[in-house]
């Protein structure tokens, strides 16, 4: 048995997220189908992050054990040859048996894209949330400062979360602006040791409220301290979110 690590990208538009589900196509399900076909037995695929329905990835990581031996490039091509074009394995490598794509990960980086302007780009609509009016980026940036570091992020996850602790260390939350016709792109980057379910999208939804002027930047510390999901903003749409990188 050999442990293979893969780096892959996917357009999550047509999938019900990463994790296998009884009804609906998923990224993990498609990889399991193809690898089981190549191996001649059921293969278990472990992913670094369980992206939700509609969320994309350019740097997702997964690992699995195979009895058959493959050269890395041939295995990559064999997997891609049996997948839809909206999932691509970029790299395959052999790793130690101890490597686990999820539990060995040190941090993950996500990017959320907001397109502001009257007209949404035809090339952006799958990968960015459209907000017609400009947002107050300076207020949004001001609101991020209290979030950096180790905190209880209960206010930014699902109310009935099953994880033991809602404490996470948020290492980066930056907002960059790119101006290009016919609109403006806001890129929100978030890096943490790990994220709670919907955490990035709930943070973004709250920042959008602040950018609209519906909340003040000074409200963010109180929202964080409340640990109350009802105090934060709505969950931002999934298609603006992309898993960029997993660090080991």
Sheet strands (E) in 12-101? 46-47, 56-66, 87-95
Helices (H) and strands (E) in the chain, counts: 5, 10
CA-based R_g, the chain, Å:
19
Farthest-apart Cα atoms in the chain, separation: 58
d(CA 158, CA 144): 20
Cα separation, 141 vs 211, in Å, equals: 9
Could you tell me which of 112, 117, 113 has the C-alpha nearest to residue 132? Answer: 117
Q: Is 55 exposed, middle or buried (0-12, 13-18, 19+ CB in 10 A)?
A: buried
The number of CA neighbours under 13 Å toward the Cβ of 106 is: 2
Which DSSP helix (H) or strand (E) runs through 8?
A: strand 2-10
How is residue 92 written in tokens?
């395959």
DSSP type of residue 54: T
- Residues with a catalytic annotation lie at 52
CA 16 to chain centre: 13
């Amino acid at each position: 048995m050999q442990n293979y690590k893969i780096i892959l990208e996917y357009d999550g538009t047509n999938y019900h997220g990463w994790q296998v589900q009884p009804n609906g196509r998923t990224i993990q399900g498609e990889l399991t189908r193809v690898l089981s076909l190549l191996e001649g037995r059921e293969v278990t695929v472990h992913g670094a992050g369980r992206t939700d329905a509609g969320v994309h990835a350019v740097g997702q990581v997964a690992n699995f054990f195979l009895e058959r031996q493959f050269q890395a490039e041939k295995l990559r091509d064999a997997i891609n040859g049996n997948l839809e074009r909206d999932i691509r394995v970029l790299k395959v490598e052999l790793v130690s048996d101890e490597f686990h794509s999820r539990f060995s990960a040190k941090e993950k980086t996500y990017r959320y894209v907001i397109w502001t302007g009257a007209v949404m780009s035809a090339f952006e609509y799958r990968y960015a949330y459209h907000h017609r009016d400009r947002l107050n980026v300076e207020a949004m940036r001001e609101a991020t400062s209290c979030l950096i570091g180790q905190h209880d992020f209960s206010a930014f996850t699902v109310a009935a979360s099953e994880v033991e602790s809602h404490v996470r260390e948020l290492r980066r939350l930056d907002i960059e602006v790119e101006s290009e016709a016919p609109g403006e792109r806001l890129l929100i980057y978030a890096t943490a040791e790990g994220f709670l379910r919907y955490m990035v999208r709930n943070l973004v939804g709250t920042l959008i409220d602040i950018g609209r002027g519906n909340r003040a930047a000074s409200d963010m510390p109180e929202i964080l301290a409340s640990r109350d999901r009802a105090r934060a903003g709505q969950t931002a749409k999934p298609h603006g979110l992309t898993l960029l990188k997993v660090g080991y």
